[in-house]
């Protein structure tokens, strides 16, 4: 649909509707719902910048050795020669190079023009402080460690420095961000809290709305119905930031080590592109990736380490339980006796269970076997499950008692009185980071600060040992 200017949207130098639509975003020029002559007029005035969607990189040696040009996609950052193709272009009537990496967002070619707004920023309605003179109405109290970390975070971000919060699972990382977010919003800045996982966004969004009730908050993930254009506070998956460009004054990345962000350069490119030039970043993780951890330990990245949970109890330490050849057991249609005994004991005690497995195929088989054992209220969930969010909600409500899941739920879902097991903990899918996060699902509530975490295996792996040692070391640093 073409958007024509309203009578009140004409500025002496630019169209305000176009300004509001394009500011902080990047679109192909033919995606903009405005007349092309209007867009070109703004380009000539220096209000809109254009660049090619796919550009040749000036790399003389590379081109000389390979006898071909090197390309980069300006939308997603792809520079892998194997992820570009060429085609006869119906638009420019030439042979065009296109990017395969972000093809699911629509084709971007070497003749494509990407448009961004470089004129004045739109005037936004200021957020109104509440009765306490602030914006945050969270009624909880930060622990001493949380308060110190929160103050240091505010100070460093205000000075333009990025900051790492390396904190154990269940330490209250979300709440200690509140002062820094509030400070930025009171200054009229735009803030994004981004994370790789949809489940984490869905959990954070209602908490942010409740804590900042007077602030428009937008949730961006596939299928979201809570999108508010130009909201000062945005909770988003990293995937959704690919269309943003120099939009946010401060960027908070929660679960910075999570798949797929840690393994996908496109997502890191998207987050960097969404930030304004010089915007500080806050990184949050219980298991930071080596790049950030080493930068912090060297003193190149400012940060803090929190080794205690907010309720003051230690992290549950995983138990190792030999289950024999678990793959063979499932293939033959029975559950390892040790695991079945543990599960039945928990069901008799009225305890909910997170049961993690290494693959979707095993998830389906194991769920069926558990149901055959006459265990009630068992469900399986994985990334492609269309009912995934419904099942997670039912689990939170206690209507599902055993939730069999892949690593998709290793983080971001909090249930007060849950215990956890990993079936096939020796599988390569379960590295140290994943196992630490899984153990972190247990004991998060002050009312239920302890519980079992069991790794059922057919032989201890180095990753299992590292995960347990990681947790024991954090408990030692926390004074336990």
Q: Are 474 and 432 a contacting pair, CB within 8 Å? A: no
pLDDT at 68 over 70: no
Q: What is the mean pLDDT of residues 99-127?
A: 91
Q: Are 242 and 102 a contacting pair, CB within 8 Å? A: yes
**Cβ neighbours for 227, distance < 8 A, ≥ 6 positions apart:** 218, 219, 220
Q: Are 286 and 478 a contacting pair, CB within 8 Å? A: no
pLDDT at residue 60, rounded to an integer: 58
Which string of DSSP letters, residue by residue, matches 148-188?
A: HHHHHHHHHHHTT--EEEEE-TTS-HHHHHHHHHHHHHHTT
CATH annotation of 144-306: 3.40.50.300
Higher pLDDT, 89 or 356: 356
Q: Measured between alpha carbons, how far is 397 from 413 in angstroms, rounded to an integer?
A: 12
Q: What is the mean pLDDT of residues 438-464?
A: 96
What residues does 419 pair with on adjacent strands? 353
- Average pLDDT across the chain, whole number: 91
pLDDT at residue 61, rounded to an integer: 59
305: helix, coil or strand? Answer: strand
Q: What is the mean pLDDT of residues 82-110?
A: 90
Higher pLDDT, 263 or 236: 236
pLDDT at residue 12, rounded to an integer: 64
Q: Are 29 and 115 a contacting pair, CB within 8 Å? A: yes
pLDDT at residue 472, rounded to an integer: 98
How many of the other CB atoms lie within 10 Å of CB of 294?
A: 12
103: tokens are 């093809």
pLDDT at residue 7, rounded to an integer: 37
Q: Measured between alpha carbons, how far is 426 from 358 in angstroms, rounded to an integer?
A: 9
pLDDT at 43 over 60: yes
CA distances from 431 to 123, 357, 421, 426 (A): 48, 13, 15, 9
Residues 269-281: tens digit of each pLDDT: 999 999 999 999 9
pLDDT at residue 31, rounded to an integer: 92
Region at 255 (left for phi over 0; alpha for psi -120 to 50; beta for the rest): left
Residue owning tokens 């975490």: 453
| Three-point CA angle 251, 255, 258, nearest 5° | 125
Q: Measured between alpha carbons, how far is 437 from 409 in angstroms, rounded to an integer?
A: 9
Residues 196-243: tens digit of each pLDDT: 989 899 999 999 999 999 999 999 998 888 888 889 999 999 999 999
pLDDT at residue 261, rounded to an integer: 72
Q: Are 382 and 363 a contacting pair, CB within 8 Å? A: yes
Residue ranges per structural domain of the chain: 7-117, 144-306, 319-477
Residues 138-160: tens digit of each pLDDT: 998 998 899 999 999 999 999 99
pLDDT at residue 15, rounded to an integer: 92
What residues does 109 pair with on adjacent strands? 98
**Cβ neighbours for 373, distance < 8 A, ≥ 6 positions apart:** 335, 340, 344
Q: Measured between alpha carbons, how far is 96 from 112 in angstroms, rounded to an integer?
A: 9
Lowest pLDDT segment from 106-110, 113-117, 132-136, 467-471: 132-136
pLDDT at residue 228, rounded to an integer: 85
Q: Are 457 and 424 a contacting pair, CB within 8 Å? A: yes
Question: Which DSSP symbol is given to 239?
Answer: G
pLDDT at 66 over 70: no
Handedness of CA 393, 396, 397, 398 (dihedral sign): positive
> What whole-number percentage of the chain has pLDDT above 90?
79
pLDDT at residue 376, rounded to an integer: 79
420: tokens are 């956890």
How many of the other CB atoms lie within 10 Å of CB of 116?
A: 19
pLDDT at residue 38, rounded to an integer: 95
Sheet strand arrangement including 217-220 = 217-220, 233-237, 191-195, 250-254, 281-285, 163-167, 302-306
Q: What is the mean pLDDT of residues 109-119?
A: 95
pLDDT at 426 over 90: yes
Residues 241-257: tens digit of each pLDDT: 999 999 999 999 998 88
pLDDT at residue 1, rounded to an integer: 39
Q: What is the mean pLDDT of residues 260-266?
A: 79
Q: What's the fold here for domain 319-477?
A: Rossmann fold (3.40.50)
Residues 345-404: tens digit of each pLDDT: 999 999 999 999 999 999 999 999 999 987 779 999 999 999 999 999 999 999 999 999
52: helix, coil or strand? Answer: strand
pLDDT at residue 67, rounded to an integer: 52
CA distances from 427 to 296, 320, 350, 466, 467 (A): 31, 14, 29, 14, 14
Asked whether this chain's domains 144-306 and 319-477 adopt the same fold, the reply is yes
Lowest pLDDT segment from 47-61, 94-108, 283-297, 418-432: 47-61
pLDDT at residue 89, rounded to an integer: 85
pLDDT at residue 3, rounded to an integer: 45
Q: Measured between alpha carbons, how far is 389 from 394 in angstroms, rounded to an integer?
A: 9
15: tokens are 């169209």
| pTM listed for this prediction | 0.89
């Amino acid at each position: 649909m073409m958007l024509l200017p309203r009578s009140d949207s004409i500025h002496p130098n630019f169209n305000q509707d176009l300004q509001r639509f394009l500011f902080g975003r990047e679109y192909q020029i033919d995606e903009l719902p405005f007349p092309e002559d209007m867009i070109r007029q703004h380009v000539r005035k220096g209000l809109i910048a254009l660049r090619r969607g796919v550009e040749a990189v000036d790399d003389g040696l590379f081109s000389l050795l390979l006898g071909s040009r090197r390309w980069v996609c300006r939308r997603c950052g792809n520079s892998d020669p194997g992820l570009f193709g060429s085609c006869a272009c119906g638009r420019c009537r030439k042979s065009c190079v296109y990017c395969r990496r972000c093809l699911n967002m629509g084709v971007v070619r070497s003749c494509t023009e990407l448009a961004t707004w470089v004129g004045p920023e739109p005037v936004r309605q200021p957020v109104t402080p509440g009765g306490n003179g602030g914006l945050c109405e969270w009624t909880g109290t930060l622990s001493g460690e949380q308060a110190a970390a929160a103050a240091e975070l505010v100070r460093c971000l205000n000075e333009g420095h990025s900051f790492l919060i390396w904190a154990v699972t269940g330490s209250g990382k979300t709440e200690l961000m509140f002062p820094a977010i509030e400070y930025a919003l009171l200054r009229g800045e735009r803030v994004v809290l981004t994370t790789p996982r949809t489940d984490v966004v869905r959990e954070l969004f209602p908490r942010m709305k409740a804590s900042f009730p007077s602030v428009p908050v937008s949730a961006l993930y596939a299928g979201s119905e809570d999108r508010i254009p130009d909201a000062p506070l945005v909770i988003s998956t990293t995937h959704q930031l690919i269309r943003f460009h120099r939009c946010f004054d401060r960027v908070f990345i929660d679960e910075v080590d999570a798949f797929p962000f840690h393994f996908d350069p496109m997502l890191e490119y998207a987050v960097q592109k969404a930030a304004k030039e010089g915007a500080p970043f806050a990184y949050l993780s219980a298991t930071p990736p080596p790049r950030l951890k080493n930068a912090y330990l060297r003193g190149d990245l400012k940060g803090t380490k929190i080794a205690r949970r907010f309720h003051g109890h230690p992290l549950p330490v995983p138990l190792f339980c030999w289950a024999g050849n678990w793959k063979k057991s499932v293939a033959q249609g029975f559950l390892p006796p040790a695991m079945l005994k543990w599960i039945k004991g928990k069901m008799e005690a009225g305890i909910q269970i997170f049961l993690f497995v290494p693959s979707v195929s095993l998830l389906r088989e194991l769920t069926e076997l558990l149901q055959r054992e006459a265990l009630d209220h068992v469900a399986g969930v994985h990334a492609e499950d269309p009912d995934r969010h419904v099942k997670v909600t039912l689990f939170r409500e206690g209507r599902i008692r055993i939730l069999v899941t892949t690593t998709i739920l290793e983080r971001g879902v909090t249930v007060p009185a849950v215990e956890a097991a990993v079936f096939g903990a020796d599988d390569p899918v379960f590295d140290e980071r994943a196992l630490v996060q899984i153990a972190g699902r247990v004991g998060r509530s002050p009312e239920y600060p302890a519980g079992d975490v069991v790794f059922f295996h057919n032989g201890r792996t180095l990753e299992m040992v590292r995960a347990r040692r990681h947790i024991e070391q954090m408990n030692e640093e926390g004074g336990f």
